[in-house]
A and B are shown apart, each in its own frame.
Chain A
Amino acid sequence: MLEIKNLHASIGNTKILKGLDLTVNSGEVHAIMGPNGSGKSTLASVIAGREDYDVTDGEINFQGNELSDIGPDERAREGIFLAFQYPVEIPGVSTTNFMKTAVNQIRESKGEKPLDAVEFLKLMKEKMKLVNIKQELLSRSINEGFSGGEKKRNEIFQMAMLDPKLSILDETDSGLDIDALKIVSNGVNALKSKENATVVVTHYQRLLDYIVPDFVHVLMDGKIVKSGDKNLALELEEKGYDWIKVKN
């Protein structure tokens, strides 16, 4: 589904990703771990198509298409979803209105007819249950004045609404208490299928008790330096990232 080869990305003169390879197939859950500043969010943003980053070398293929000339809106329509580490607050636009526009633009791009108000409300109600989010919150300005947990639940709610093929969850666990963590993880697990794939970015092992990965990768200094199964996460938790540095 996703195939990244020798990816180099920089912002201004700062090189951040320095030759990164990653392959994700449908049905799989991958975890990307790494210390702060190693380039995890950059990788997530570059896959989602953020234009502030320059891809100076390498390529990203998604379902057989090379993405370099494709904007973030089209990538989303192809099925890529990014749950932001820091969800943006947008005064004056409600999440409901936002999602209605997004869902219908995606439908339109597939040649499907837009949902009417009743159909949309039905879809919303169904997905709201999944992450235990209230309608009142969704009728407010996007993320404005939301608590950390509410913002993260809103991300997973949007993911549920858009039903993506590849979901990238950037530090979705950070700032969540254990109850919120369970709600968010249950939501993600409920959305999992053989047809889609999930990339979980985190620097704590804790989340991986709830969203169990098939593969764990360690990202350091812009490269994946080690890959393994879920036991690698436990080992990292125990020994810290220095353990890998020493080994290399």
Chain B
Amino acid sequence: MIDTVDLKKSISIEEDNIIKEIKSESLDKIKLSYKKYKEEYKYTPLLRNIEKKYGSFNSSENIKKADSYKDLISTKDKHYIVILNGSYIENISNIPNSIDIKNIKDLSKNEQNIFIDSYSKIDDSTDDIFSSINTILHSNCLTFKINKSTILKEKISIINIVDSSKPTYFRKCFIIDKNSEISFSEEFINVTRDGNFSNSVTEIYMDENAVFNYFSTQNISKNYHFNSINVFQKRNSTSNFHTYSFSGSIIRNNLNIKLLDKSCYANMYGFYAIKNSSHIDNHTSVDHIDENSISNEHYKGIVDDGSIGVFNGKIFVRQRAQKTNAFQSNNNILLSDNAKVNTKPQLEIWADDVKCSHGCTVGQLDDDALFYLMSRGISRKDAISLLLSAFSTDITEKIADKVIREEYQLMILKELEDLNYE
């Protein structure tokens, strides 16, 4: 069982009464979530590693001046949001007018109520121990409000900076109003010499007809990283998630989507290419609650050296959710004898008029294909790169925007060059 002394102390100094209440509720559930942990983290010993490394879950405040992080912003980005150890750094961010970002504590009572209504209803709050710890220990819940009928074509880049020798907590809450369409990309950058434990929880509320595109790039070799994204969709809304993971001591991604209404559309695509001793765990769930919704999920991974890939995909189809279409697959290529993959689909279907499919594969690089390419004069190294990047194309081609798609394809090519294959 985990030590709750620090957690209790942190709650006792919370000044905002409503938030204090939310935190206390999470603490009450922590025993329950610890029980769940043993099952849900069977292949990913995150808790043990964090406790061993940090002793405590408490975070510390940063000290450096915000300006010193300016270099981390890519010149390609038009709009960017810089977040340091969980706090929004407004003076080096550049956001479009149609978005409002505020700490939940700085909102007017009226605005606050909108968020409090949704805040901490997160899907895995009762299940996941790291989400609970985030709820208790985070100090800044950043709220993003996208107003009605806002259409933003260019993606906004969220740069999360980790600069601390203690665990860091990131908390975000998005409300996407009716008929809006918006895209974000998110990245975590660790600027310390040693690793860190970064814990990020995000809630996304999508109103009718909203479209939300989200891209995540994970390349944080020394970090332990917990990332929980919880999505709630109303009628006719569409979410597109693209998760690309390349390195991390341990990365645990929870992606939970609740399709609350009729005719929702959810797409979850992921690609991982990992080496050395990286460990990537993608746990996803999609919950079809009402009729006529569609979910597509496809994750693919290349696992090299002694690295470990874990995939777990849950699909729930409730009794009311007739005419559901739910598809899921996970394909892996192992490049080394020491690499490991654990992959598991979990389907629970209570409706009868449903189209559902799932499939997992774990294989090796195709030797016949490799010989075929080499027999035309292509070097072994380039032939391997060609085959591996071809393996990734059915994931990258799901990115509708050409510029973004090419950006990710290029990123993958660069990562694949560093893999080894004997």
A residues touching B (Cβ–Cβ < 8 Å)?
48-52, 71-73, 75-77, 81-82, 84, 87-88, 90-93, 97-99, 101-102, 105-106, 109, 141-142, 158, 162
Contacts and interface: CB of A to CB of B under 8 A. Distances in A.
A90 B379 contact: no
A48 B368 CA distance: 13
A90 B372 contact: yes
B371 A102 contact: no
Contacts of A105: 377-379, 382
B338 interface: no
B372 to A, nearest CB: 4
Given A91-B390, A93-B387, A105-B382, A76 B372 contact: no
A84 B373 CA distance: 12
B369 A102 contact: no
A90 B373 contact: yes
Given A52-B367, A72-B371, A84-B372, A90 B387 contact: yes
Contacts of B376: 76, 81, 98-99, 102, 158, 162
B418 to A, nearest CB: 19
A98 B374 contact: no
Interface string B257-269: 0000000000000
B382 A88 contact: no
B82 to A, nearest CB: 36
A90 B371 contact: no
A92 B386 CA distance: 9
Contacts of B115: none
Contacts of B373: 90, 93, 98, 102
A71 B377 contact: no
A193 B134 CA distance: 74
Given A52-B367, A84-B372, A88-B372, A162 B377 contact: yes
B378 A73 contact: yes
B91 interface: no
Contacts of B360: none
B390 A71 contact: no
A158 B373 CA distance: 11
14 contacts: A49-B374, A49-B375, A50-B371, A52-B367, A72-B375, A73-B374, A75-B375, A88-B368, A88-B371, A92-B393, A98-B376, A102-B373, A102-B376, A141-B390
Contacts of A82: 375
Contacts of B368: 88
B40 interface: no
A91 to B, nearest CB: 6
B36 interface: no
Interface residues of B, number: 24
A84 B368 CA distance: 11
A93 B378 CA distance: 13
Closest A-B pairs by Cβ, 6 of them: A92-B390, A76-B377, A102-B376, A88-B372, A72-B374, A106-B377
A99 B386 CA distance: 12
Given A98-B376, A101-B378, 7 more contacts: A48-B375, A49-B375, A73-B375, A82-B375, A90-B366, A98-B378, A101-B382
A76 B382 CA distance: 15
Contact of B380 (A73, A81, A106): A73
Contacts of B375: 48-49, 72-73, 75-76, 81-82
Nearest to B394: A92
Contacts of B387: 90, 93
A237 B380 CA distance: 41
A64 B369 CA distance: 29
A90 B369 contact: yes
B22 interface: no
B369 A88 contact: yes
B386 A101 contact: yes
Highest count of chain B CB atoms <10 Å: which of A50, A93, A109, A158: A93
B327 interface: no
Contacts of A93: 373, 386-387, 390
Nearest to B388: A92
Interface string B344-370: 000000000000000000000011110
Highest count of chain B CB atoms <10 Å: which of A52, A84, A88: A88
B249 to A, nearest CB: 31
A9 to B, nearest CB: 15
Highest count of chain A CB atoms <10 Å: which of B373, B380, B382: B373
B382 A71 contact: no
A11 B392 CA distance: 33
A51 B380 CA distance: 12
Nearest to B390: A92
